[in-house]
Every structure is written in C-alpha cells, then in structure tokens.
Amino acid sequence: MKKVLALALALCMVFALCAVSASAEGKLVGVAMPTKDLQRWNQDGENMKNMLEAEGYAVDLQYASNDVQQQLNQVTNMINSGCDVVVIAAIEGSSLGSALDLAKEKGIPVIAYDRLLMESDAVSYYATFDNYKVGTVQGNYVKEALDLDNAEGPFYIEITAGDPGDNNANFFYSGAMDVIKPYIDAGKVIVKSGQVEFSDVATPTWKTEVAQTRASSILASFYADGSSIDAWLCSNDSTALGVTNALEDNYDGEWPIITGQDCDISNVKNMIAGKQSMSVFKDTRTLAAQVVKMVGQILAGEEVDVNDTETYDNNVIVVPSFLCEPVFADVNNYAELLLDSGYYTADQLA
C-alpha cells in the first residue's frame, strides 16, 4: 500500500513539474522597465528575470533610460520578435499606443507592471501595489505626527508629488491629500508657497534633481526669513531625497517630517540618520512573483488571479488588477522589514 502511495506521489510530482515547464517551455517573455536610474526598477527587472527564468521562460529584459521613444521601440521589437507575453512598466502611460495596438493585432497579452498603461484596450491585466493606500499611509502619518485633530496649529507644510505621466502619481497624491486637504481648508495647515494643486507640485520623471530645484526655490522664496516647516509631504523616495538635499543646503529651522515611498537605500539611511521620517515598503519580490504567476496563468489558459476590477480605468477599459499591500516603514521597523526578510544586507545600509 505504502509503495502504491509513494508511486502515486512521485507521479503527481512529475506531473506537476511537467505542468510548470509545459506552459513555460519555449515561451519568451518581454519585460520592459523604464530606467536604471532609480533603484527600484533595477530590483524589479532583476526579480522578474530571475523568477521567470526559474520557471523555465526565456526573458527579454530591457531598460529605456526614461526615454519614451526608446521604450516604444523596445516594446515594438519584443512584439515583432515573438514574445508570448509582454510585461511593461511604462515611462509615460499613454505613449505606447502603437505598440499596444500591434500586440492586440498579434494576440499577444500585455501586463501593465506597477504603472497602468493608459488609453488602450490592449492591456490584459495590471499588477501593482494599492497606490491610493500608499498616499493615505503618507497623509495619515503627517496627520498623526502633527496631531492635527488636537493640536492648535497652524502647521506649515509643503507638498512634492510625482510624474504627471505616471498614473500612479495621481493616486499617491489623492490618497495623501484626501487626508490633509480638510486641514488646509480649515486653516490648520498652511502651505506657504500656495502650491497645492497636483500640477503645481508634480515632479516630471520623478527626478531627485527636479524635486531639489523646486524645493530650493520654495525655501528661498518663502522660508528665508527663518520661519519653519513642520512637514514636507513627498510622494516617493527619489523626490524625498531631493527635498532633503534642498533642506540641508537652504534651511536652518527645526527639521520637518518628510514622507517617502520605496525604501530606497539612500532613504533608509536617511531614516536611520533621522532625516526622513517614514517610507512605504513595496516589496518588489512580491510584485514580481505575482506577475510571474499571471504570466503562467495566461499561458496555461487558466483564470488569472485579480483582486480589483473597479479602480483602474485607463480611459478606455477598466483593467482587471491585482493590488499588493504596501507596508508602512520607519526607523522602528526597517530592520525587520528590510534586513530580516533579506531585502537588503546590513552592509548595504551601513
């Protein structure tokens, strides 16, 4: 009896292995990443490549130096060179229309990775983190740290948001502003620069230097008289870094609360040094694993795991999405989140 069971188990295992490799065998997956300039996309790209290859897929991984035309060419090549599925983290969500049309024409499924692909019905699925929640975590942090419900105020804050070409940037901004705006309207929070609307606080391509230049000019124009800033609400770590640099160079007041997102190495170091108050950890391994699972399900003709079919409207269709959970990070829990989980080594943060 035992022998029969062992044989059955062995057959099941062989069958399971064959099933995995059967959907992956001979399949090529294109992975288009926006840039190598920002830390997270290097991690995303590496994770995707390693995980896909471990499943038996061939992988065409491309980075596009934040150049929209370059990414368009890369994706077009992926489609023309026979990729079976294409995974895209777009630089500019609306700029890949012609490549997406081609994918549709050839019946190649497209997965939007982290950033939604806009203005197209050729997007099969979307995997990301809960972007609105990222913003509310940042907004709530500021609200609680300043005790906005109880303290008298007024408090002075400034705001730095993300790239207008990235659909996520609106979600981060709205999530945070839905928490903070009522206090601005009530006069308890004052934005001295008067720059509150998304279009005024956006940071094209999320560049640290762009955020730094704008922050420096705000400091020179509105805080040079020695008045202090209580919080600088930043949508992510690359912009938080720019704001931190600007404050270091141009500000003598009490150090403000600074928010961020991604747990980039420089920013975690800044959290440890007391220069950045918090970040939001989005484990790129979790997102990559989810997308690899999607690829497998699509190619095996199985039902694809999604957990949101309402939020992500790309102006043509509502794209079925899987939202991973973002996690609050600060100096108190970074070691557990980032070191114990093997995301970084202690050396990287030293």
CA–CA distance, 80 with 120 (Å, rounded to integer) = 19
CA–CA distance, 293 with 130 (Å, rounded to integer) = 18
**Side chain identity at 252, as an amino acid letter?**
D
Q: Which 203-222 positions form the footprint of ligand BGC (CB under 6 A)?
A: 206
Q: Which 71-110 positions form the footprint of ligand BGC (CB under 6 A)?
A: none
- For ligand BGC, the closer of residues 214 and 282 by Cβ is 282
Q: In which region does residue 115 sit, left (phi positive, over 0), alpha (psi from -120 to 50) or beta (all else)?
A: beta
CA–CA distance, 22 with 57 (Å, rounded to integer) = 10
DSSP string, 188-227: SEE-TT---SHHHH--GGG-HHHHHHHHHHHHHHHSTTS-
Contact residues for 64 (Cβ-Cβ < 8 A; gap 6+): 32, 33, 34, 35, 70, 71, 74, 91
Phi, psi at 297, each rounded to 5°: -65, -40
Assess 236 for contact with ligand BGC (CB under 6 A). Answer: yes
Assess 275 for contact with ligand BGC (CB under 6 A). Answer: no
Assess 232 for contact with ligand BGC (CB under 6 A). Answer: no
- For ligand BGC, the closer of residues 40 and 275 by Cβ is 40
Assess 115 for contact with ligand BGC (CB under 6 A). Answer: yes
What is the contact mask toward ligand BGC in residues 6 to 35, using x (rule: CB under 6 A)? ------------------------------
- For ligand BGC, the closer of residues 23 and 238 by Cβ is 238
Three-state secondary structure call for residue 299: helix
DSSP string, 59-84: EEEEE-TT-HHHHHHHHHHHHHTT-S
Number of residues that bind ligand BGC (CB under 6 A): 12
- For ligand BGC, the closer of residues 77 and 266 by Cβ is 266
Minimum Å gap between C-beta 148 and ligand BGC is 25
- For ligand BGC, the closer of residues 135 and 296 by Cβ is 135
Minimum Å gap between C-beta 46 and ligand BGC is 15
- For ligand BGC, the closer of residues 173 and 251 by Cβ is 173
Q: Looking up tokens 């070691």, which residue turns up?
A: 335
Phi, psi at 156, each rounded to 5°: -105, 125
Minimum Å gap between C-beta 132 and ligand BGC is 12
- For ligand BGC, the closer of residues 93 and 296 by Cβ is 93
Q: Among all residues, whose Cβ is closest to ligand BGC?
A: 236
Assess 38 for contact with ligand BGC (CB under 6 A). Answer: yes
Phi, psi at 234, each rounded to 5°: -110, 140
Assess 168 for contact with ligand BGC (CB under 6 A). Answer: yes
- For ligand BGC, the closer of residues 45 and 296 by Cβ is 45
CA–CA distance, 250 with 129 (Å, rounded to integer) = 34
Q: Considering only residues 114, 158, 230, 283, which one is a binding residue for ligand BGC as defined by CB under 6 A?
A: 114
Q: Looking up tokens 């606080």, which residue turns up?
A: 201
Assess 44 for contact with ligand BGC (CB under 6 A). Answer: no
Q: Considering only residues 44, 92, 166, 230, which one is a binding residue for ligand BGC as defined by CB under 6 A?
A: 166
- For ligand BGC, the closer of residues 24 and 110 by Cβ is 110
Minimum Å gap between C-beta 40 and ligand BGC is 6
Interior CA angle at 86 toward 84 and 88, to 5°? 175
Q: Considering only residues 74, 138, 261, 270, which one is a binding residue for ligand BGC as defined by CB under 6 A?
A: 261
CA–CA distance, 71 with 129 (Å, rounded to integer) = 22
Pair 143, 155: CB distance under 8 Å: no
Assess 262 for contact with ligand BGC (CB under 6 A). Answer: yes
Element (H, E) at 257: strand 257-258
**Under the rule (CB under 6 A), what is the footprint of ligand BGC?**
38, 40, 114-115, 166, 168, 206, 236, 238, 261-262, 282
